[in-house]
Amino acid sequence: MKLHLLLLSLVTSLAAAQTPSYPDAAASDPMALGLMQGFPPAADKTVRFIDGSSLRFPNTRWSFSHIRELVPTAQVARGNGSVSKLPRALKDLDAVSYADMDGKPRTWKEMLALTYTDGVVVMHKGKIVYEKNMGALASDGSHIAMSVTKSFVGTLASMLVHEGKLDAAAPVIKYLPELKDTAYGDATVRQVMDMTIGVRYSENYADPKAEIWAYAAAVGMAPIGLDYKGPRTAYDFLVALQKEGEHDVAFAYKTVNTEVLGWILRRVSGKNLATLLSEKIWQKIGAEQDAYFAVDSIGTEMGGGGLNANLRDFARVGEMMRLGGKFNGQQIVPKAVVSDIEQGADKAKFAKAGYKLLANWSYRNMWWVSDYGAYSARGIHGQAIYVDPKSHMVIARFASHPIAANAAQDPVALPAYRAVAAYLNK
């Protein structure tokens, strides 16, 4: 199949999924469906990357927990240190009730199903109070984090700024002269870090002409043929991006900004993202598992969405952020970097992006920052590291919601997080 036909079929199936006709969490449970069970699995239960089936719901309910079996990846090594202990004091949160943004009464347990949760860990005051794995996610497995990845890239960038190795005020082309004639030719690193870049790039998954599809092919997230002529690496894609509008005027969420930031980090550090993340965070938190990045055809990590990790390790990262960057007996992320994220960015610029469900939020160093003290790394199918220092709470969640938009789940998920926080602190 030609690439454009393949992408069209993906978009069509995705558009179809965006009607309310998709099966619910129980009906799309990958184990109950028998996806990829047996040796070999039945033909109609087989999920592959090359035919696009791994990108289609409900197959995503299996594939999001099996990315390394589908595409090439780069190891984010945990090293050989001890696994950090996560004390447990389990509570039954299933019945915690709240009203969703539409005013409907809901429970925590209901929310998990409505948002197609694959796994969730809630920590309160340093202890795991709730942990549940569903679908195809094993407790020692990994799940794709999608745009949660961006918050790691943003944090690493902030750390290098803090260390004086990267100048946030500098023009991007100080580090990447290759981008001189692109949208980034007159942008600063800070504008990239906070995504206030004017660049022609649409992330509308429902539009087959949106650049997200060409990007997906370039970075190895969509299958290509041997005769494919388009860009084959993140780099090739980035050097063709053109300006649209002005920088520094409004928040505009575009994955390519994170790819540019990842490139800057590699150029500045001389290391790839997998190594940087391993050295600066993964080896220090006492992770249980190596993490990994999906990579393009030349091993370039997809910094905008390609990180895969174990859920408890994401809880560790959230806990580390909650504690001002200190965890597992050491200061891992500088306190100033955490504080900078907590304080958020310009709310007026954020408001221009029109996120009605996130009124008064902002986006700082690639974290989503609320106006009530919590902030979050967020992935498009419901993945999240949600840090709420005031409530002494961290939530790490993986999900495989059929709709590629947080707007589909924020109305039930965000109030649930706040309800659980209130419950835990009452």
Query: Should residue 8 be labelled a site residue for a second copy when binding is judged by CB under 8 A?
Result: no
Residues 58/30, Cβ–Cβ less than 8 Å: yes
Query: Should residue 28 be labelled a site residue for a second copy when binding is judged by CB under 8 A?
Result: no
Instruction: Tell me the C-alpha distance between 36 and 8, whole Å.
Output: 25
Query: Should residue 107 be labelled a site residue for a second copy when binding is judged by CB under 8 A?
Result: no
- Point out which span in 94-102, 164-172, 180-188, 292-300 binds a second copy (CB under 8 A): 292-300
Length of the chain: 426
Contacting residue, 11, 14, 33, 74, with a second copy by CB under 8 A: 74
Contacting residue, 80, 105, 164, 354, with a second copy by CB under 8 A: 80
Residue 245, token pair as written in the block: 């509008």
Query: Should residue 149 be labelled a site residue for a second copy when binding is judged by CB under 8 A?
Result: no
Instruction: Tell me the C-alpha distance between 289 and 136, whole Å.
Output: 17
The interface mask with a second copy, positions 172-191, x = CB under 8 A, is --------------------
Query: Should residue 219 be labelled a site residue for a second copy when binding is judged by CB under 8 A?
Result: no
Instruction: Tell me the C-alpha distance between 269 and 275, whole Å.
Output: 10
| Catalytic choice (142, 147, 158, 400) | 147
Active site residue 147: yes
Torsion angle of C-alpha atoms 250, 253, 257, 258, degrees rounded to 10: 130
Query: Should residue 83 be labelled a site residue for a second copy when binding is judged by CB under 8 A?
Result: yes
Under DSSP, the state recorded for 83 is P
Report DSSP letters for 242-310, one per residue: -B-S-TTSS----HHHHHHHHHHHHHHHSS-HHHHHIIIIITTTT-SS-EEEEB-TT--B-TTT-EEE-
Instruction: Tell me the C-alpha distance between 14 and 3, whole Å.
Output: 16
- Point out which span in 115-123, 161-169, 250-258, 259-267 binds a second copy (CB under 8 A): 259-267
Contacting residue, 33, 121, 134, 295, with a second copy by CB under 8 A: 295
Query: Should residue 299 be labelled a site residue for a second copy when binding is judged by CB under 8 A?
Result: yes
Instruction: Tell me the C-alpha distance between 416 and 97, whole Å.
Output: 8
**Minimal distance in Å, beta carbon 6 to a second copy?**
7
In the numeric block, the tokens 């063709």 are attached to 240
Pick from 151, 134, 83, 102: nearest CA to 386: 151
Contacting residue, 117, 133, 300, 370, with a second copy by CB under 8 A: 300
**Minimal distance in Å, beta carbon 264 to a second copy?**
10
- Residues labelled as active-site residues: 147
| Residue ranges in contact with a second copy by CB under 8 A | 1-3, 6, 36, 39-41, 46-51, 66, 68-75, 77, 80, 83, 140, 223-227, 232-233, 235, 263, 266-267, 272, 288, 290, 292, 295, 297-300
